[in-house]
């Protein structure tokens, strides 16, 4: 550094370590720390100790983003993991990231093909995958895409911005595995990855997680929404090294008697959460829990009691009445949690919808307690339907009842076909989507029980109505991918399989060309391709094609405008014929005008 430059940035040109922290001024400028302040991020750990002793980020006071600054966070002082397998796509920034990571742990770098074809590598405990998730087949990014494709909300955020470039998942190829996915490394990302890998061990089983923390602490939290639909935070009186196990059950698997000490109007949801902690946190004779916040998420199907997979009907459980119940071993019964209990501080329900890891949750029930046990949910039946829906469906749908029965975030690569499995919509089992550009889409798909007043019944016998809409992720901008709709119709409805037709409503009911694709013992299977979206009907037509007063489905031009075909409106002359007549009349008029002007000159 030249003396003049040091004067301009405020460092001492007579001292190569202006702040005396053991890092040379030039080194600090390269790293991004303040060469005039030996403690850049204000967390009470010097820059030198953060870089060379603990491997924490000297520019971020909370390296692992857990809400505790690095000085107070015991995870900062945990030893780094012994080794890491790193799968990557070639990039200069990635090479720099690998070099920095290797200063703290043993790094084995492998290509995507080497990794996926070597069981020994995929079975390692700590794996880092570096590559953008839309990179294509045979790339590290595609490994990330494959892992996250069911967690479409996470994948969409990684696609949208490098601010969301890092995500961690567990138990991918074996139950004790931590997999850190990084779409693109930034200069100090190795510190965050190191902190994630050393904080705890998370063991994933079917419907259960075990988290083993590595250092003593007075507070810990476990986010296990993907595995158990739940979250917990525990504050303790003393610092201990805890272990916690969380297991989700249903009415068939719960290992406790289903005997309830609830009021007559309380209905049990049928979802249960068992929480066990190590003996140093809670045992038969003592416990050190000051507060524990327990959160259980619920879906529409959890509350559905009428069999239609939603929670909006009379007889379904009213989410506004939900609360937690617990198994009381002293009386062998389930009881409602209440702040009247000396170990229950507060209870509540949050009914705001959320999409987490690709699952559509209607909300969550929570409690603040000082004792951990086995919990469930109960509530009262709905006596009248809700006046309107709120939450995540902010887009104007077309039907009279704006209810989204199926919602999914979808990533499409340019020109590639992606299949999407569909549930909850009668008859429809799959969509096949294609778009000319790489794009992140939101799909809204709803069953229609009641048509809007201005939409007439579709012609023929109707099997089901539904509506479909696509937008760009996190916007209300509509998009129109080429969409093949795959559906099936029971044979007892499809008395003539050739007359099953998909109809599309847009300025009238339009017939969509529908192809029979197969059959089994119970149903016929069909496919129809569309490029515009609103209300659809699966119908059994009662007239031969051309006899009914309906429109053929219009074609869509490359610019997205509709171009009716010449047969689009029965009884009306084709558009090209009208144009020819107009041109012919114009020529006659011009000729007559020329004749008059010639006579005038004569």
Cα(449)–Cα(466) distance, integer angstroms: 8
CA 126 to chain centre: 24
Smallest Cα–Cα separation from 296: which of 240, 236, 219, 379?
Answer: 379
Smallest Cα–Cα separation from 289: which of 384, 370, 377?
Answer: 370
Phi and psi, residue 29, nearest 5°: -65, -40
pLDDT of residue 447: 83
Count of residues making up the chain = 602
578: Cβ contacts below 8 Å, ≥ 6 apart? none
Phi and psi, residue 575, nearest 5°: -60, -40
Residue 103, token pair as written in the block: 């200063």
Residue 331, token pair as written in the block: 């009386």
For 122-177, the DSSP string reads: HT-SEEEEES-TTS-TTSHHHHHHHHHTTSHHHHHHHHH-GGG-EEEEE-SSSTT-
Smallest Cα–Cα separation from 160: which of 445, 438, 433?
Answer: 438
pLDDT of residue 541: 87
User: Among all chains, which residue has been given the structure tokens 């892992």?
Assistant: 147
Beta partners for 169? Answer: 179
3-state helix, strand, coil in the chain (%, to 5): 20, 35, 45
Q: What pLDDT digit, counting tens, does each position of 364-386 carry?
A: 999 999 999 999 999 999 998 77
573: Cβ contacts below 8 Å, ≥ 6 apart? none
**Secondary structure element (H or E) that encloses residue 596, with its range:** helix 575-601
pLDDT of residue 222: 95
Q: What pLDDT digit, counting tens, does each position of 386-425 carry?
A: 764 433 433 334 443 334 456 777 878 888 899 998 877 8
Phi and psi, residue 114, nearest 5°: -60, -40
Pairing state between β 267-277 and 243-250: antiparallel
pLDDT of residue 569: 33
| 230-240, strands of its sheet edge to edge | 217-224, 230-240, 289-298, 363-369, 344-350
pLDDT averaged over consecutive 10-residue blocks of the chain (602 residues)? Answer: 77 81 83 86 89 90 86 91 96 95 97 95 96 85 90 80 92 96 95 95 96 94 95 95 98 95 94 97 94 95 86 92 96 95 95 83 94 97 71 39 60 87 87 90 81 85 91 78 96 93 92 95 95 92 52 41 36 45 60 55 47
**Secondary structure element (H or E) that encloses residue 92, with its range:** helix 92-101
pLDDT of residue 379: 97
pLDDT of residue 489: 95
Residue 191, token pair as written in the block: 């510190």
Residue 337, token pair as written in the block: 């949690």
pLDDT of residue 331: 95
pLDDT of residue 474: 61
**Cα-based angle 142, 144, 150 (whole degrees, multiple of 5):** 105
């Amino acid at each position: 550094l030249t003396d003049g430059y040091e004067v301009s940035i405020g460092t001492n040109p007579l001292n190569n370590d202006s702040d005396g922290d053991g890092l040379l001024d030039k080194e600090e400028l390269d790293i991004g720390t303040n060469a005039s302040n030996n403690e850049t991020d204000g967390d009470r750990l010097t820059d030198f100790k953060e870089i060379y002793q603990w491997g924490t980020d000297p520019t971020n006071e909370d390296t692992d983003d857990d809400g505790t600054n690095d000085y107070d966070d015991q995870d900062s002082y945990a030893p780094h993991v012994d080794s890491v397998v790193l799968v990557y796509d070639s990039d200069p920034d990635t090479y720099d990231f690998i070099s920095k990571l290797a200063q703290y742990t043993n790094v084995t770098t492998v290509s995507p093909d080497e990794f996926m074809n070597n069981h020994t590598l995929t079975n390692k405990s700590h794996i880092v995958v570096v590559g953008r998730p839309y990179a294509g087949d045979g790339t590290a990014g595609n490994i990330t895409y494959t892992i996250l494709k069911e967690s479409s909300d996470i994948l969409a955020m990684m696609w949208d911005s490098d601010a969301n470039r890092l995500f961690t998942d567990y138990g991918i190829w074996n139950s004790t595995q931590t997999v850190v996915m990084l779409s693109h490394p930034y200069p100090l990302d190795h510190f965050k990855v190191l902190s994630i890998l050393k904080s705890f061990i998370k063991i994933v089983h079917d419907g259960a997680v075990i988290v083993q923390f590595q250092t003593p602490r007075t507070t810990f939290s476990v986010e296990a929404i993907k595995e158990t639909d739940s979250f917990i935070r525990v504050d303790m009186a003393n610092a201990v090294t805890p272990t916690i196990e969380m297991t989700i059950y249903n009415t068939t698997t719960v290992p406790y008697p289903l005997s309830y000490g609830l009021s007559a109007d309380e209905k049990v949801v049928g979802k249960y959460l068992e929480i066990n902690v190590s003996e140093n946190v809670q045992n038969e004779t003592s416990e050190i829990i000051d507060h524990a916040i327990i959160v259980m998420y619920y879906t529409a199907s959890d509350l559905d009691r009428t069999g239609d997979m939603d929670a909006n009907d009379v007889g379904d459980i009213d989410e506004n009445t939900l609360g937690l119940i617990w198994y009381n071993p002293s009386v062998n019964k389930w009881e409602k949690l209440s702040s009247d209990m000396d170990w229950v501080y507060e209870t509540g329900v949050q009914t705001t919808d959320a999409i987490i890891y690709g699952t559509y949750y209607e909300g969550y029930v929570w409690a603040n307690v000082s004792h951990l046990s086995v919990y469930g949910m109960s509530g009262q039946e709905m006596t009248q339907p809700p006046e309107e829906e709120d939450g995540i469906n902010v887009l104007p749908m077309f039907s009279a009842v704006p209810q989204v029965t199926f919602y999914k975030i979808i990533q499409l690569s340019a020109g590639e076909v992606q299949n999407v499995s569909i549930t909850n919509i009668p008859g429809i089992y799959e969509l096949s989507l294609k778009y000319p550009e790489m794009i992140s889409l939101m799909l809204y798909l709803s069953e229609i029980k009641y048509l809007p007043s201005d939409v007439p019944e579709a012609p023929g016998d109707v099997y089901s109505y539904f509506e479909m809409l696509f937008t760009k992720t996190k916007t209300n901008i509509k998009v129109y991918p080429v969409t093949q709709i795959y559906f099936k119709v029971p044979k007892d409805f499809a008395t003539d399989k050739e007359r099953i037709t998909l109809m599309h409503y847009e300025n009238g009911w339009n017939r969509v060309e529908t192809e029979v694709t197969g059959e089994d013992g119970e149903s016929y299977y069909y496919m129809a391709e569309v490029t515009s979206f609103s209300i659809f009907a699966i119908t059994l037509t009662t007239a031969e094609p051309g006899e009914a007063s309906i429109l053929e489905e219009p074609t869509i031009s490359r610019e997205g405008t509709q171009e009716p075909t010449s047969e689009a409106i029965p009884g009306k002359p084709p558009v090209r014929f009208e144009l020819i007549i107009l041109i012919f009349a114009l020529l006659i008029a011009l000729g007559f005008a020329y004749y008059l002007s010639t006579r005038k000159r004569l």
